[in-house]
C-alpha cells in the first residue's frame, strides 16, 4: 500500500471514529438552542412590555429570565461531564453566558423602570423590538452550529444588523430628549435609553462569539 493510500485509509478511520464518538455525545447544541429559545421568549415579552401599555408583563419578563437561567444550568451540567462535544466547550460556554447577559439586561431594565415608575415610550418600544429580532437571529445561528456554518455566520450578521438598528434608534431617542424641560424626566429616561443601547452591545458580543465558533468549525 502506498503512503498516499495509507494516509487516506487512516483519515477514513479517524473520520469514522469521530462520527461514532460524537453520535454518543450529549446534544449540547440542542441544549444551547433550548436556552436561546427561552431567551427569545423573554425578549419578546420585554418588547411587549416596552410598548408601555401592560405593566403586568413585567412579572412575565422576570419569570422567563429565571427560566433562561434554568436552561443555562442544564447546559452547564452536561458540559461538566461531556467527554466530547461537536462544538468547542469554551465556545458553548461563552455563547450561553453572553446570551444570558442579554436577558439579564432586559430584566434589569424592566425591574428598574417598575421600581421608579418609568413608563416605556415609543422609542423604547422600537429599541426592544430590534433586540427581540436580533436574539431571534442569534438562536437561528445556534441551531445552525455543527452542520451549517454558513447559515450560522449569516444569522450572526443579521443579529449584528438588528443590534445596530438599536443604536440608531437610541440616537433618535436621545435627540428628542433635548427639547424636554423636566430635568428629572430627562435624566431618568436618558439612563434607561442607555440601558437599551447597552443591551444591543451585548447582542453584538453574542454574535461575535457565534462567528468565532463558525470559523472554528471550518
Count how many domains the chain has.
1
**Average pLDDT over every residue of 37-46:** 97
Assess if residue 33 is contained within a domain.
yes
* Residue 76, Cβ density class (10 Å: 0-12 exposed, 13-18 middle, ≥19 buried): middle
- Grade residue 181 by pLDDT with cuts at 50, 70 and 90: confident
CATH number of the domain encompassing residue 154: 1.20.58.220
Q: Would you tell me the crossing angle of helices 89-116 and 57-81 to the nearest 10 degrees? A: 160
Greater confidence (15 vs 85) lies with 85
Mean pLDDT of the chain: 88
The number of residues in the chain equals 218
pLDDT of residue 56: 86
Chain centroid offset of residue 217 CA: 20
Has residue 186 been placed in a domain?
yes
Segments forming the whole domain that contains residue 203: 26-217
100 domain residue, yes or no: yes
Query: What CA–CA distance (Å, rounded) separates 48 from 50?
Result: 5
Q: Which pLDDT does position 23 carry in this prediction?
A: 43
Asked if residue 16 belongs to a domain, the reply is no
Examine residue 7 and state whether it is found in any structural domain, yes or no.
no
Residue 89 forms part of a structural domain: yes
209 in any annotated domain: yes
> Is 114 within a domain?
yes
Amino acid at each position: 500500500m502506498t503512503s498516499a493510500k495509507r494516509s487516506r485509509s487512516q483519515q477514513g478511520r479517524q473520520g469514522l471514529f469521530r462520527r461514532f464518538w460524537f453520535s454518543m455525545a450529549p446534544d449540547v447544541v440542542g441544549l444551547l438552542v433550548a436556552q436561546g429559545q427561552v431567551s427569545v421568549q423573554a425578549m419578546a415579552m420585554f418588547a411587549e412590555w416596552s410598548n408601555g401599555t401592560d405593566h403586568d408583563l413585567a412579572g412575565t419578563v422576570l419569570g422567563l429570565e429565571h427560566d433562561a437561567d434554568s436552561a443555562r444550568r442544564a447546559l452547564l451540567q452536561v458540559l461538566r461531564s461531556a467527554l466530547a462535544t461537536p462544538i468547542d466547550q469554551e465556545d458553548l460556554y461563552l455563547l450561553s453566558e453572553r446570551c444570558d447577559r442579554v436577558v439579564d439586561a432586559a430584566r434589569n431594565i424592566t425591574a428598574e423602570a417598575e421600581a421608579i415608575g418609568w413608563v416605556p415610550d415609543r422609542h423604547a418600544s422600537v429599541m426592544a423590538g430590534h433586540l427581540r429580532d436580533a436574539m431571534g437571529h442569534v438562536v437561528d445561528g445556534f441551531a445552525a452550529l455543527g452542520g451549517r456554518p454558513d447559515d450560522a455566520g449569516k444569522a450572526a450578521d443579521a443579529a449584528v444588523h438588528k443590534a445596530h438598528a438599536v443604536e440608531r434608534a437610541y440616537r433618535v431617542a436621545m435627540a428628542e430628549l433635548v427639547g424636554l424641560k423636566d430635568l428629572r424626566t430627562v435624566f431618568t429616561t436618558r439612563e434607561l435609553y442607555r440601558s437599551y443601547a447597552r443591551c444591543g452591545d451585548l447582542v453584538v458580543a453574542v454574535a461575535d462569539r457565534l462567528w468565532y465558533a463558525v470559523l472554528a468549525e471550518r
